[in-house]
Amino acid sequence: MAYTNPSEINWSIGIQEVFNYVDILSEGWFSIFLLIAIFIIVLMGIARTKDFFEAASISGFVTFLVALGFFFAGIINLNVLIFIIGIAVISVGLLWLVTKKS
């Protein structure tokens, strides 16, 4: 498989072209792993001060916002965005179930 030469990319467009180029090289996995890393970093940062389920719902929402920006920039496709929305809904649902029992 022949990859695009870095000198053929118009780097003056912005950071989106950098993400697109790295995403082409990694066959679409770079943006997914970046979103997973954002979820974990926010989760661990907030879990120190709040309940785990609150931290999971907040990190799911933050990851959804970042994924929405990535989707509008054309970095991720719709399937990945739907998966991130599912994670956010599940984490908020778990928070709702835990707070309802208390």
User: Per the domain annotation, does 8 fall within a domain?
Assistant: no
Tokens of 40: 């974990």
- Maximum mean pLDDT: which of 51-60, 81-90, 92-101: 81-90
67, part of any domain: yes
pLDDT in tens, 46-84: 888 778 888 888 898 999 999 999 899 888 889 999 999
Structural domain for 43, as ranges? 15-101
pLDDT in tens, 12-46: 777 777 777 887 788 888 888 989 999 999 888 88
Contact 5, 21 (CB under 8 A): no
Q: C-alpha angle with apex 5: 33 to 28, nearest 5 degrees?
A: 20
Q: How far apart are CA 26 and CA 3, in angstroms?
A: 10
Q: Quick check: is 6 in a domain? A: no
Q: Is residue 58 part of a domain?
A: yes
Please count the structural domains in the chain: 1
pTM: 0.78
User: Is position 1 within any domain?
Assistant: no
Model pLDDT, residue 30: 86
Q: Is residue 10 part of a domain?
A: no
Is position 9 within any domain? no
The verdict on residue 49 lying in a domain is: yes
Are the C-beta atoms of 71 and 78 separated by less than 8 Å? Answer: yes
